[in-house]
Amino acid sequence: TLLASLAPILLCPASVFGATVGGTLPGSTTWTLANSPYLVVSNVIVTSGVTLTIEPGAIVKLTNGVSITAQAGGTVDVQGSAEAPVQFMPMVGNNAWGNISASGNNSFVTIRHAEISRGGVSLGSQSTGLVEDSYVHDVTSAIVGNSARMVTMRRVHVNNYSETIFNSGTIVLAE
């Protein structure tokens, strides 16, 4: 019967298909492994006083050209671990997405234990960024700091890219 043929689909948890996300976050939000993958269909905007936390093991798939951006006073906090890195990847094939970025006074991006494929990290005006124990690959601009307050990078592997740029007074600590 039709119901019997649909039973495997109906019994699958929603997380098998992913949580569709995009737009301006209404408040602080946590993306968990349990609700992965997150399908980012439009730019995610993290405004002042708001934090987007991405827990260990979460999978984030982004469509063409979209980004996750902390505006002035906003924070993106990627909390991967050695045992459960966070994965950022294209939603479809090898298509490029945008960046994990911050721009504006007191905007922050922290990325720990993540694999970032086909997208980059961009830190703009007066932002602060930390990228450590991560792998950024297959992207044009891997890590960019343009007028950022401070960019710290530790144990970051970058592969198959065309540039990393730090300019306009960006202070960089690379270990």
β-bridge mates for residue 94, sequence order: none
DSSP string, 41-90: EEEEEE-TT-EEEE-TT-EEEE-TT--EEE-TT-EEEEE--SSS-EEEEE
Across 70-89, average pLDDT = 98
97 bridge partner residues = none
Residue pLDDT, tens place only, 30-44:
999 999 999 999 999
**Mean pLDDT taken over the chain:** 92
Query: Which SS3 state, helix, strand or coil, does residue 166 take?
Result: strand
* pTM of the model as a whole: 0.90
Res 17: pLDDT: 73
Each residue's pLDDT tens digit, 100-154: 999 999 999 999 999 999 999 999 999 999 999 999 999 999 999 999 999 999 9
Length of the chain: 175
Of residues 99, 103, 55, the one with CA closest to residue 75: 103
Does the pLDDT at position 2 exceed 60? no
CB 112 within 8 A of CB 129: no
Helix, strand, or coil here: 14? helix
